[in-house]
Amino acid sequence: MNQMTPNLDKEYLQLIRSALTTIDGLWFLEVENKFGFETAFDLDLKVWKKYGAILIKRIKKIFSIEDETLSSFLRVLEILCAIDGTRFEIQRKSSEEILLSIQYCPWWENLKRSKREKLVRCDIVDKEIFPKWAETFNPNIEFQLIKSIPAGHSTCEWLLSLKK
């Protein structure tokens, strides 16, 4: 490997992230222009639920993740976040519960940049899609949004736990 490989990989990943957010934003705006905000938002939630389920299955296969533990789901989240650029810190971790604090969220930043952060509540999106993603990985994993920036907190916090 030469010295340029890490930079090329980083640039390539940035291009993928940019393409992902661009296609999501353009798709949403076109549907909103034609059918209105409510329909666009509803369809967007349906698409993201399915997208996550498909991507989680692919990640499990590609990375040979066979068990359904919280630690393995955390590994899947790390990969998903590497794809979209979300950065988090683990606040607490046990075999029954993991608390994550979001350090950087590209989706929130994109909403702010486009001045749509009050119109498109990303915390509502998170509450809708992430429990479905967790369920896809393991039906006994619960996802809860404990704190969110749109709700007035300084950060978002995700709690992953096993159903009791």
| Closest by CA position to 147, among listed 108, 104, 102 | 102
Q: Is the pLDDT of residue 5 over 80?
A: no
SS3 53: helix
pTM: 0.85
Measured between alpha carbons, how far is 48 from 103 in angstroms, rounded to an integer? Answer: 22
Q: Work out the burial of residue 86: count CB atoms within 10 Å of its CB; fewer than 13 is exposed, 13-18 middle, 19 or more buried.
A: buried
Kindly report, residue by residue over 70-97, the tens digit of the pLDDT.
Answer: 999 999 999 999 888 899 999 999 989 9
| Closest by CA position to 48, among listed 136, 130, 134, 160 | 130
What domains lie within the chain, and their CATH numbers? 5-162 (3.30.1380)
Phi and psi dihedrals of 86, rounded to 5?
-70, 135
